Amino acid sequence: MDRLIKLNYHLNRLLILLGGIAVVALTMLAAANMLLRMILTPINGSYELISFCGAVATAFALGYTQIKKNHIIVNIFTDKFPKKANKMLDGINYFVNMLFFGLVAWETLKWGMKIARTGEVSETLKIIYHPFVYCVAFGFGVLALTLFFDFVILFHEKERV
């Protein structure tokens, strides 16, 4: 199990790196578009490309954010609960979220396959965009996997990598 947890960690590190590259790409594209808008003409389809990069960056950051617990936690009430109750609530949270994001990943994957099957393309640039949808589905799937490992770790008293 430790090897799977480490593999999950390294997969999330790779995805956060790729997500960072997508953020840099969208930033450069947005800056170039603004500059060219002042000088000549804006980049055709920049909104689409920036949106695709943003979706990939966000989806690829989900699992790593879960590992590092860098998300917003509202614990006004749970701070007053006993440690055992908090552990049980965390377990329920991990399990329910794992199921939810697993379902989100599956439905997003099905949507991407439908787009690929019908040959749908983006509105402005007319490029296929189902690979971006697959990336988002993969990001949600990795988040579900990370939540599964959080659930297992919680009840086996093992620390994260």
For residue range 95-132, what is the model confidence (pLDDT) as tens digits?
Answer: 999 999 999 999 999 999 999 999 999 999 999 999 99
* Rg, the chain, Cα only: 19
pLDDT in tens, 39-66: 988 889 999 999 999 999 999 999 999 9
Domain boundaries, the chain: 2-156
Q: Which residue from 117, 102, 106 is spatially nearest to 63, judged by alpha carbons?
A: 102
CB-based contacts of 149, cutoff 8 Å, min separation 6:
4, 5, 8
pLDDT tops 70 at residue 149: yes
Q: Evaluate if pTM is beyond 0.95.
A: no
- In three state form, how does the secondary structure of 42-62 look? CCCCHHHHHHHHHHHHHHHHH
